[in-house]
Structure 1
Amino acid sequence: MRKRLGDLSPAERKVARVLLAGYPAAVFETVATIAERASVSAPTVLRCASRLGFKGFPDLQAALRSELDARTASPISLYESSGSSEHSTPERPEGASDPRLGAALSLVRQAMSQTFDEVAPHEFNDAVNLLSDPRRRVHVAGGRFTHLLAQYLGLHLTQFRDQVHFLPDRDVERASFLTQLARRDVTVVFDYRRYEADKTVMAEMARERGGKVIVFTDPWLSPAAAHADVVLTTQVTSDSPYDSLAPALALVESLVAAVLDRIGDEGHERMKVSESVAKRTGLI
């Protein structure tokens, strides 16, 4: 819907904005209620749905129901529906030695390609600009599994820039961490289905303090994305009930390379100093 806003008429854009502002509940309102909120006619609501590629408004609602089911999917539900299209097995590459390895490779290739094709260049560049700004502190946070991605990003950034902080594990330290969010900070949140409420609160608090927020999430969008300045979505398709984080890791590595390139000589010098300290203290 966001991508198609430019294709809509001014009246239809009003409808789309009402739906986006009240996502997801607004889509399940009656056509008359949506029209009233957007200050347009009921036929305009129907035309908006058609312009977005749906057969009608009920078709749009059905698509949203399917999307919400996907957003709340768990490994158990994905396992039980492993025969569905979301986890269907693609054709095995010719010459693959093992059917399972071949199928997994195809899925990873497809997910990687789709992820990089769908990342908006301006979003990626905005993330690079924010993370390479030496005036800004960087805070990184992830969830049950994605804390690994948060640490991976943060540990790389610490090699060539100052003021990189990780969300603490203990409650008291975490509360202190959140109280320090400020206007010049960049908060990077990783939140994939099933989404964690504290990540949304963290993004919301960061925005309330005037800071910038970068959210890594899946195609169904974490609620934290509503508070983000930059949203980087990655595909999660895999050959198991568990979502794949391989495309997200690849995007993180691309982001790290771009940030280092943007920082330039200063980052290189910081890396040399860090290496020297590590050698002197016997860490390497």
Structure 2
Amino acid sequence: MRFEDAIEGKIDSLSAGQKKVGRYLLAHIEESSYATLAKISRESGVSETTVIRFAYTLGFESFSTMQNALRAELLGESEREKAEEDEDNVYFGTLKREIEILEKTRKALSIEHIEAAAARLYGADRVFSTAGRTTHAAALWFYEILGKYREGVTAVQPEGGEIYTRLMEVTEKSVVVAISFARYTQSTIQFAKMAKERGAYIIAITDNSLCELALVADQVFITESNRGESGINTISSAAALLNILAVAVYKRDIKKVSGRLKELEALYQKRQNVLIE
């Protein structure tokens, strides 16, 4: 039982003098954990004997035993609060790091760079979005969004036999968007290399301008991945860049893209239970 609860549970049964001690301790709980017997006696307006008897009433062998128990309880609460605060710091620190990476990425971007990539993505006969392992989710997201804005968008899982099937579809008018962070997925790099051999334009999103994927690419967007506490690359910065590219494609022909979106919405409406509003 907490020290304060113990006092409150007995306060009504205490003598008048002991009630004064109890009320003083409740009002000055931290100070009482290190104050002398004489000070508590003086401040509460009772004799030292009354303070000692108060300790007996709470079940302690002596005043010092009571004070030691109070001190240990307060220290324990302090440690728990610190542990909770440290845990919060880990969580918020992860988010803070994500924000820092996004801000750094924003500062490194140029409008010309974005619009040059958008022109390629808009004018391509086919767009292939590819990434391996954890970043594959970002490639799938880009495929899903860009596929609503224009036709001929394909997501490529670089591991397995699909890579060769998709390579047969690559032409000199195609664009490959490849995403890879350290430790780099070799199959993503290989797909980019082979697509370039077939004449495709390669746009890379990566964390190092000197990595193999960047050296293969015609255009490179540099950002970072927050490995943080998890030890696994996050995809928020890659997704942010891909979102910018998708928006840039949208803005190149808002009328045409809006028409596609309206057509898509009409198809949704023809079939029940596609979307729940």
Write out aligned runs for 1:1-284 (5 A).
Answer: 98-133=88-123, 135-168=124-157, 171-219=160-208, 221-240=210-229, 241-282=231-272, 283-284=274-275
Given that 1:138 and 1:185 are in contact with CA atoms closer than 8 Å, whether structure 2 keeps it comes out as yes
**Whole-Å separation in 2 of the counterparts to 1:151 and 1:281:** 24
The one-letter code sitting in structure 2 at the alignment partner of 1:143 is G
Given that 2:208 and 2:214 are in contact with CA atoms closer than 8 Å, whether structure 1 keeps it comes out as no
3-state SS, counterpart of residue 145 of structure 1: helix
**Whole-Å separation in 2 of the counterparts to 1:100 and 1:280:** 47
Given that 1:212 and 1:228 are in contact with CA atoms closer than 8 Å, whether structure 2 keeps it comes out as yes
The one-letter code sitting in structure 2 at the alignment partner of 1:115 is T
Give 4+ residue runs of structure 1 displaced > 4 Å after superposition.
none
The one-letter code sitting in structure 1 at the alignment partner of 2:257 is G
**Which fold has the larger relative contact order, with Cα–Cα distance below 8 Å and residues 6 or more apart in sequence?**
1
How much does 1:221 deviate?
4.8
Give the 3 Å change call, closer, same or farther, for CA 125–197 of structure 1 in structure 2. Answer: same
How much does 1:161 deviate?
0.6
3-state SS, counterpart of residue 172 of structure 2: coil
Given that 1:187 and 1:211 are in contact with CA atoms closer than 8 Å, whether structure 2 keeps it comes out as yes
**Whole-Å separation in 2 of the counterparts to 1:221 and 1:146:** 19
More off after superposition, 147-156 vs 187-196 = 187-196
3-state SS, counterpart of residue 146 of structure 1: helix
Alignment TM-score, normalising by the size of structure 2: 0.62
CA root-mean-square deviation:
2.3
How much does 1:272 deviate?
0.6
Given that 2:176 and 2:192 are in contact with CA atoms closer than 8 Å, whether structure 1 keeps it comes out as yes
Give the 3 Å change call, closer, same or farther, for CA 174–206 of structure 1 in structure 2. Answer: closer
How much does 1:275 deviate?
1.2
How many residue pairs match? The answer is 189
**Whole-Å separation in 1 of the counterparts to 2:158 and 2:197:** 23
Given that 1:123 and 1:231 are in contact with CA atoms closer than 8 Å, whether structure 2 keeps it comes out as no
Structure 1 unaligned regions, length at least 5: 1-94
The one-letter code sitting in structure 1 at the alignment partner of 2:219 is V
The one-letter code sitting in structure 1 at the alignment partner of 2:207 is D
Structure 2 unaligned regions, length at least 5: 1-84
**Whole-Å separation in 2 of the counterparts to 1:232 and 1:185:** 18
**Whole-Å separation in 1 of the counterparts to 2:120 and 2:113:** 11
**Whole-Å separation in 1 of the counterparts to 2:171 and 2:227:** 38
Look up the match of 1:35. none
Give the 3 Å change call, closer, same or farther, for CA 205–108 of structure 1 in structure 2. Answer: same
The one-letter code sitting in structure 1 at the alignment partner of 2:246 is V
The one-letter code sitting in structure 1 at the alignment partner of 2:133 is R
The one-letter code sitting in structure 2 at the alignment partner of 1:100 is V
Given that 1:168 and 1:177 are in contact with CA atoms closer than 8 Å, whether structure 2 keeps it comes out as no
Greater Rg by CA: 2
Give the 3 Å change call, closer, same or farther, for CA 96–246 of structure 1 in structure 2. Answer: farther
The one-letter code sitting in structure 2 at the alignment partner of 1:105 is L
3-state SS, counterpart of residue 181 of structure 2: coil
Q: Which structure has more helix as a fraction of its residues?
A: 2
How much does 1:227 deviate?
1.6
3-state SS, counterpart of residue 254 of structure 1: helix
Given that 1:136 and 1:185 are in contact with CA atoms closer than 8 Å, whether structure 2 keeps it comes out as yes
**Whole-Å separation in 2 of the counterparts to 1:239 and 1:169:** 26
Deviations 1:76-135 (A, max 9, x none): xxxxxxxxxxxxxxxxxxx999322332232122111111112344332221111122x5
Given that 1:128 and 1:258 are in contact with CA atoms closer than 8 Å, whether structure 2 keeps it comes out as yes
Deviations 1:183-225 (A, max 9, x none): 0100111111111222222111222212111111113654121
**Whole-Å separation in 2 of the counterparts to 1:237 and 1:157:** 25
**Whole-Å separation in 1 of the counterparts to 2:157 and 2:208:** 27
